[in-house]
Structure 1
Amino acid sequence: MAGQEFLAERFEEQRARLRAVAYRMLGSFSEADDAVQETWIKLSRADVSGVENLGAWLTTVVSRVCLDFLRSRKAKQEESLEARLPDPIVVEEGDPSHDPEHQALTTDAVGLALMIVLDTLNPAERLAFVLHDLFAVPFDTIASILDRSLAATKMMASRARRRVQSSAKPPEEDLSRQREIVSAFRAASRGGGFEALLAVLDPDVVLRADTSEGLRTLRGAADVASQAQLFGRSAPVARPVLVNGSPGFVSIVDGKLLSVLAFTVSGGRITEIHVFADPARLAALGFAA
């Protein structure tokens, strides 16, 4: 019993990091929690008396679990056309009250634009990129997880890196500049005029709205600006937040959370807008309106 209690304590020390790894691998809080729980089950049944670095051992296990999840998901997606946005990490700016697991998720947060690109990678490429580029796991460890050669593993990570770099414009690094542009968008959508909206939108801006009816996509500044004007009039209360480390806001009507809006700013303009409006997904966020 003492041995199990000791393992449980050591596992809790690693839980936050394991959940951060699983979230970036899967883009889903519920699946990340399932992966972490399965990792604990495997640990509780394993003989780790000879393991020198338990953290690395657990990272390897949770990565293998996530790889199985990704492969299963890919098989299901081939049978279904349904697509959803990754779960957003929503926090109020300057709020220090989050638990260690939430802090681990928000530290060096990966933007939603990158998470969406990761969803286009095959499972092995995603694992190689996430573990190496985001968590600095050595390639030889990743190769053993994938059961591939070192050269093949490096090649997969390189392919994934090229896909990421070619699919997503580099985000604005200055957070205050991002806030300024998002605030200008909010003001324009509430009555600043169509031209004011076009001034802050990239000509090729993409809006993705995740609702209870599925995912809807709009492309082009004119269509997105028109939609933004309609939305701005219907959501009078907006609270600034950070969504995956970038400025966004939550819209509130009659004290109820109506939606979460996340923005990607690049080159001084908004290049992507992600809207979360599915009541079930919003409830799962646990965000107090």
Structure 2
Amino acid sequence: MPEETVTDVFEDHRPVLFGVAYRMLGRVADAEDVVQDAWLRWSGADRTQVREPRAFLVRITSRLALDRLRQVQARRESYVGPWLPEPLPTDLAGPVPDGAERTVFTESVTLAVLVVMESLSPLERAVFVLREAFGYPYAEIAGTLDRSEAAVRQLAGRARRHVAERTPRYEVDPERQRALTERFLAAAAGDDLPGLLDLLAADTRLVGDSGGRAKAPLRVIESADKVARFLAGVARSAPAGLEFTVREINGGVAALVHLAGVPDSVIQLGVRDGRIQTVYIVRNPDKLGALATR
């Protein structure tokens, strides 16, 4: 196969490979590393025996991502504070597919789903991604992961039930999300406690991810009163020059906050019945660097 063709075939499938790796790992940098490793395996493989490049590449990527997931899970046990996935812009071209594949991609990379997937075992997560997000047959997943088809079916059923039971049911209408996000930002930035309380559900939760690298709560804050008072306190001590941009991140409306032109945080709201149920805030600078170039 000519070198140009080898590269073109891989690039054609790169969005799918990135999608597999990101959903399994929850970090853009880790997913990109896995895809690069997959390229090295592909470029050095005996491709005369490859009948279906996509299946071959997905198999390589899945196994590499599974190995990487087992490594990073050990590191996450010592992570400072709550862990959230690395924000992924889904409103730009790049690693995000187009057309029908894009719809499936964005639905399965929401923060709510990825957070729940963190509680799956590495094998359960791999099976869930390949089956639920990509619709691969059980027999093919079994071959990819070197497991029996019966074992894969069992893993898939367990993972599916776990995710369905624990994933919050949020509204996804983008216009309503945008309007509520803008109202939330105005109330928070204006130290408007009554305005915040009017937007929050009684059992609102705020989950902040700083990794110990920035100011953020080290525990989940629960109840509308506590969340509103925390946000109002943040507004009073916020530095001058913060800028807010509403973006599509992880398939939903989110606010990207810049300070002096540098990404400072990402804020995304989980909304149900017109009220904010969850406030996700990512402030770990290690998870924001890619946003400066996207």
Task: Kindly indicate whether the alpha-carbon contact (under 8 Å) linking 1:22 and 1:32 is maintained by their aligned counterparts in 2.
Answer: yes
Aligned to 1:157: 156
Q: Does 1:268 align with 2:271?
A: no
Alpha carbons of structure 1 residues 146 and 227: separation in structure 2 relative to 1, 3 Å: same
User: Counterparts of 1:197-212 in structure 2 under 5 Å?
Assistant: 197-211=196-210
Aligned to 2:137: 138
Of the structure 1 ranges 164-173 and 55-64, higher mean CA displacement relative to structure 2 is found in: 164-173
Q: How far, CA to CA, are the matches of 1:210 and 1:173 in structure 2?
A: 23
- % same residue: 34
User: Counterparts of 1:177-196 in structure 2 under 5 Å?
Assistant: 177-191=176-190, 193-196=192-195
Task: Kindly indicate whether the alpha-carbon contact (under 8 Å) linking 2:89 and 2:250 is maintained by their aligned counterparts in 1.
Answer: yes
Alpha carbons of structure 1 residues 256 and 8: separation in structure 2 relative to 1, 3 Å: closer
Aligned to 1:226: 229
Q: CA deviation at 1:221?
A: 1.5
Give secondary structure in 2 for the equivalent of 1:84: coil
- Provide Cα deviations, 1:235-282, integer angstroms capped at 9, x if missing partner: 653221122121111223444432221122123222222212233432
Of the structure 1 ranges 263-272 and 81-90, higher mean CA displacement relative to structure 2 is found in: 81-90
Aligned to 1:117: 116
Letter in 1 for 2:246: P
Across the aligned residues of Structure 1 and Structure 2, the Cα RMSD in angstroms comes to 2.5
Letter in 2 for 1:242: E
Q: Does 1:101 align with 2:107?
A: no
Aligned to 1:64: 63
Task: Kindly indicate whether the alpha-carbon contact (under 8 Å) linking 1:186 and 1:232 is maintained by their aligned counterparts in 2.
Answer: no
- Provide Cα deviations, 1:159-210, integer angstroms capped at 9, x if missing partner: 1121112212112132212222222222322347323322322222221222
Give secondary structure in 2 for the equivalent of 1:101: coil
Alpha carbons of structure 1 residues 152 and 202: separation in structure 2 relative to 1, 3 Å: farther
TM-score normalized with structure 2 length: 0.85
Task: Kindly indicate whether the alpha-carbon contact (under 8 Å) linking 1:207 and 1:274 is maintained by their aligned counterparts in 2.
Answer: yes
Q: How far, CA to CA, are the matches of 2:143 and 2:97 in structure 1?
A: 30
Of the structure 1 ranges 229-238 and 45-54, higher mean CA displacement relative to structure 2 is found in: 229-238
Of the structure 1 ranges 215-224 and 154-163, higher mean CA displacement relative to structure 2 is found in: 215-224
Alpha carbons of structure 1 residues 166 and 202: separation in structure 2 relative to 1, 3 Å: farther
Alpha carbons of structure 1 residues 274 and 197: separation in structure 2 relative to 1, 3 Å: same
Give secondary structure in 2 for the equivalent of 1:257: strand
Q: How far, CA to CA, are the matches of 1:282 and 1:148 in structure 2?
A: 36
Q: How far, CA to CA, are the matches of 2:192 and 2:124 in structure 1?
A: 44
Give secondary structure in 2 for the equivalent of 1:248: strand
Q: Which blocks of at least 5 consecutive residues in structure 2 are unaligned?
A: none
Task: Kindly indicate whether the alpha-carbon contact (under 8 Å) linking 1:113 and 1:272 is maintained by their aligned counterparts in 2.
Answer: no
Aligned to 1:6: 5
Of the structure 1 ranges 215-224 and 128-137, higher mean CA displacement relative to structure 2 is found in: 215-224
Q: How far, CA to CA, are the matches of 2:176 and 2:56 in structure 1?
A: 41
Q: How far, CA to CA, are the matches of 1:106 and 1:53 in structure 2?
A: 22
Of the structure 1 ranges 206-215 and 267-276, higher mean CA displacement relative to structure 2 is found in: 206-215
Task: Kindly indicate whether the alpha-carbon contact (under 8 Å) linking 2:263 and 2:291 is maintained by their aligned counterparts in 1.
Answer: no
Alpha carbons of structure 1 residues 287 and 269: separation in structure 2 relative to 1, 3 Å: farther
Letter in 2 for 1:178: Q
Aligned length: 281
- Provide Cα deviations, 1:56-103, integer angstroms capped at 9, x if missing partner: 11111100111111122234445x354532110136x6xxxx443245
Letter in 2 for 1:101: P
Aligned to 1:84: 83
Alpha carbons of structure 1 residues 51 and 212: separation in structure 2 relative to 1, 3 Å: closer
